[in-house]
Each structure stands twice: as structure tokens, then as C-alpha cells.
Structure 1
Amino acid sequence: MKTLVISGGTDGMGRALARTYLERGDTVAVIGRDKSKALPGAAFIPADLSLISENRQVIEEVNARFPVVDALVLCARFFRTHRFVTAEGVEGTFALDYLSRFLLSYGLTAPRLIVNVSGPGQPTGRVHWDDLMLERGYNGMAAQFQAGKANDLLGVAFAARHGDRTRYVLIHPGGVSTSVAGEYDEATAAHVEALKRHGLPVEEGIKPIVARIDNPPAEPLSAFMRERRIDLDGLSFDQAAAERLHSLTLQVLER
């Protein structure tokens, strides 16, 4: 029997993962905004994960209710063509796609495994060190790529601190036909519809994620493009950059 906590567990791959493990008889807690989407049998934890304050509330609740977590699975994401700033003053994609994953990763009490469903090792995109909130020339894809790069570095920094107790897995599931939640302009919406038509069915898309949950790698940090391992020697996993981002992230949280 396992205990899993899944962010974004009411839609898409997160929901499919929740169903898979509920059907096995495991304990599953899902974090989401709409209780009506939660699967019967799952513990529902309501939250807007783009808000730092609500992430902290989730952390308190999970630690109180589920002191032993076998797997924290990070799936929540939301694409925005136009720049959005949360009520706490944080750019929306950075807040949800990266900052929430940072908070949950470090906040839960010693999860045995963290699976960050992101896009590790991608050659495109960069961290905008002098403009993390993308105040100058915001672009939705640039925001997504920055979040992906930031999650690579999150894995590196986390493994350096807690790799002795928690395995951290970064995984790209490939093109999957999910709801692809977001607010899109016309051109991006057309691209999303093409992805839905040609992407893998959700049940197929989650298979490499299930494989990593069921058989976690031995290393403190690993990264995958579906079943294929990604080399951690590339610039995406630079230790100095990981420490730099860790420090900047703490500054954002302190503000």
C-alpha cells in the first residue's frame, strides 16, 4: 500500500494517475481547485497553487494528515498567452509551474519520492536571471520554458540537500492528449488542438510516470524523456545555476 499526493490531480494526467492508484487500493490525496472533479475515494485538498499562502496551507494539511508520503507527484500547470500576476505579486506561470513545486518539494515531511512532471533537459528556453517575473517582453512560451529550466535546477538543488532520504525524478511524458489547461490566443489555441488530436492517450502518457513511481531509480536525481534517461551533465543541470536559483527563490518567498 502506498500513499500518494498529486498536485493537479483533478485533471489530465494527474487525474489518470490518481485513478490508477485508487484502483490498486492505495491512499491518494489530490490537490486542486474544483472538488467536483475529484475522484471518489481520493482525499481532496482545495488550493490555488499559484498562491504561496495556499501552498503553505496545503503543506500543513498534508503533513498533519499524511505523515508518511511514498510519492509526491507534481503535475499542476496552466499556460497563459498574456502575462498574469497573482494577488501576491508573482508572475503566474513562475508561481504555479515552478514556485509551487519548490514549496511542496521542500515543505512535505520527507517524502520518499518526488516525481516532477515537467520537461527536463530541453535545449530551448532559459532562466531570465535579471527578470524572473518576465516584466519585460512577456511571452507565454518563454514563461513555460523558463519554468521547465527552473524545475531542472530545483531537482539539482533538492538532491544536493535531501538526496540521502528522497529520490527526485524529473520526467517529460511526451506529447499527451490532455485538457492542456490555459488561456490561449488564437494561434496557440490551434497548436493545442493539434496536440490533442495527435498526442498520446492519457492512459498511455502516464505509463512512464507509473513506472518511476513503482520502481524509483536508485540515484538521488534522475531525469527521463518518457522511458529514456536524460544525461545530467548538460547545462540544464548545472550545480552553480541551481544554487543561484535556490537563493533567488528564497528571496521571492521572503518578499
Structure 2
Amino acid sequence: MSRTIVITGGTSGIGLALARHYAALGEQVVAVGSSEEGGRRLRAEVPRARFVRCDLSSLRETRDLVERLSADHPVIDALVLAAFRYNPRRVTTAEGFEHTFALYVLNRRLMAEGLRGPLEKAPSPVIVNLCGAGRGGRINWDDLQLENGYRAVAATMQGARASVLLGAAYGSERVKYVLYNPVFVATGLHEPFRQPLRGVVRAASALFGQPVARAVPPITALIDRPPAEPVSVWRKGKRIEPAVDRDEAQRFASTVLAMSAL
């Protein structure tokens, strides 16, 4: 019997490569992306995959997506959280959230919690959160939306730390939560930048970035054989042990829960 694999950010980069891999194995792949252009790319490269369009930075659209996926797929074997966009300048969503926080933090929390039911019905369920785990980062408790002095790196690093805290607080008896940092992968990191910086970032990706094809196998290994531990953190295929304060994790999870309810 085929598995159901849901991938956010599944129309480009690592997400698209994972969709291609699992579709070729005959699994039921649902790739979520924000644009019709991405959907056309997915249909051209992975015709067996199902494309679902959703603005994942929107809480309303994410809730609607969770309802649709739960209705269409009563059992989900794996949820891969790969949607991300690097914003050189501060961007605010229509709902008033800083975009990186909405996409990298709020969306991932809503997806993991909202699909808990279908995941827990699977034989060996797993959530794989592709993030910057193990790189440090801190939560800006006094300014979560980075309204004062936004810096793209700070927003990204806060999101990486948030993923670790939300993973630690997830607390499912059946669903394994994997935080995976693929490090520097040659995907579309250059796209948000303007020239000439865009060309510089593109060249750096080509020179120093890990090819997507090389980044995928360690991730599929964790999807196919989830770790025994409820929560585990990995960096480029190797297990790591980042410091996690349980009180901070619960505090942050409660804060994000209140924000997500808006």
C-alpha cells in the first residue's frame, strides 16, 4: 500500500526533489506551493504528484489547507516542512505578521498541529522540519516581529531557533519529529535579491552549495526509517544535540499558539 507524503515548498529545491523521489516510488505525493508557476513546474517534472496552491504565510489559507488535506487524506505518513523564503527587507503579510515569522514559524506550527490526527493514524508517521537547527539563533521575546531594526539574518536565525523549540514541545506519542539542517544547498537562495547581489549569491551557491541530489538521500532515510526518539535534530546527515530549555520551549509554544489563534 502506498504512503501519503505531504511536502510544503514542494515545487522547488529540496521539496521538489523529494516529490520526484517519492512519486517515482509510487507513493502518493501532495506538493504545496504558492504559485501557479511552481505548479506548472511540478506537473511537468513530476506528473504523478498532486499540486495544491496555498499562500503558506497566511494563517487563514493554512487553516483551510489543513482542513482540505485532512478530508482528502485521512492517513498521512510523512509531513515535510520545507517552505521558506529569505527576505532581504522586512515584508508584512496581509494579516499583519512579519513574513519570515509567518512562513517559517506560524505556518509550520499550524501544519504540524493541524495534521496531527491523520499523521497519528499512519503506521510509522514522521514530521521532517527542514530548518537551520544547530546554528544557534535566539528568540527576540520583546520584538518577535522584528519591527525595530529588521535584519534578514536575524529573522532567519530566530526561525531556526523557533523550529527547535516547537519540535521539543510537539509531544506526540506516535509522530516522530525530525529537525533537519541540510546546511548550504544550491537551490533558489539568490532569487529574492536584486542585481548585482543576486549574481553574487547565485555564483556562491554554484561554487559552495551542496547539490540538491546529494542533500536528498539523508532526508529520505529519515522519512523511510524515522528515529526511535520522539524528537531528534540532524545536521547534514549527522545527529546533533542542541541545547534546549524545556521551559523556554513551552513558553514559546504557548506564545505561538496564542498568535496562531488570531
Query: Shift in Å at residue 61 of structure 1?
Result: 0.9
Report the 3-state secondary structure (helix = DSSP H, G, I; strand = E; otherwise coil) of the residue aligned with 2:32.
strand
State yes or no: 1:19 paired with 2:20. yes
2:122 aligned partner: none
Aligned to 1:245: 252
Give the partner amino acid of 1:104: M
Counterparts in 2 of 1:194 and 1:252: CA distance versus 1, 3 Å: same
Q: Deviations over 1:91-115 (max 9, x none)?
A: 0000011111100000012421100
Shift of 1:201: 1.2
Question: Which amino acid in 2 is paired with 1:208?
Answer: P
Aligned to 2:41: 37
**Structure 2 residue 127 is matched with structure 1 residue 114:** yes
SS of alignment partner, residue 29 of structure 2: strand
* Change in CA separation of 1:181 and 1:244 when aligned onto 2, cut-off 3 Å: farther
| Equivalent position to 2:193, from 180, 184, 193 | 184
- 1:178-234, Cα deviation, whole Å (9 max, x unpaired): 1126522558632453023321211111111111011110000001012210114x1
Q: Which runs of 5+ in 2 are unaligned?
A: 120-124
| TM-score (normalizing by structure 2) | 0.90
Q: How does 1:1-255 map to 2 (within 5 A)?
A: 1-33=2-34, 34=36, 35-38=39-42, 39-108=46-115, 109-111=117-119, 112-123=125-136, 125-158=137-170, 161-162=171-172, 164-180=173-189, 182-184=191-193, 189=198, 190-232=200-242, 234=243, 237-255=244-262
CA contact (8 A) 2:190 2:201 kept: no
The amino acid of 2:193's aligned partner reads: Y
Equivalent residues of 1:29, 1:45 under 8 A apart: yes
Percent of aligned positions that are identical: 41
Preserved contact between residue 126 and residue 176 of structure 2 (Cα < 8 Å)? yes
For 2:144 and 2:196, the matched residues in 1 are separated by: 25
TM-score (norm 1): 0.93
In the alignment, the residues of structure 2 paired with residue 52 and residue 105 of structure 1 have an alpha-carbon distance, to the nearest angstrom, of: 13
The 3 A distance-change label for structure 1 pair 242 and 10 is: same
Q: Is the 8 A contact 1:110 1:166 kept in 2?
A: no
Residue pair 2:189, 2:201 contacting (<8 A) in 1 also: no
**Do the aligned partners of residues 70 and 6 (structure 1) sit closer, same or farther apart at CA in structure 2, a change above 3 Å counting?**
same
User: 1:122: Cα distance to partner?
Assistant: 1.3
CA deviation after TM superposition for structure 1 residue 176, in Å: 1.1
- RMSD of equivalent CA atoms: 1.5
Q: Distance in 2 between matches of 1:22 and 1:5?
A: 11
Asked whether the equivalents of residues 30 and 45 of structure 1 are also in contact (C-alpha less than 8 Å), the reply is yes
Closer/same/farther in 2, CA of residues 49 and 170 from structure 1, 3 Å limit: same
**1:176–1:196 CA contact under 8 A, matched in 2:** no
Count the aligned residue pairs.
Answer: 248
Task: Name the stretch that deviates more: 33-42 or 168-177.
Answer: 33-42
Structure 1's unaligned 5+ residue stretches are: none
* Alpha-carbon spacing, 1:82–1:128, altered in 2? closer, same or farther (3 Å): same
Residues 81 and 185 of structure 1 are in contact (CA less than 8 Å); yes or no, is this contact kept in structure 2? no
CA contact (8 A) 1:4 1:70 kept: yes
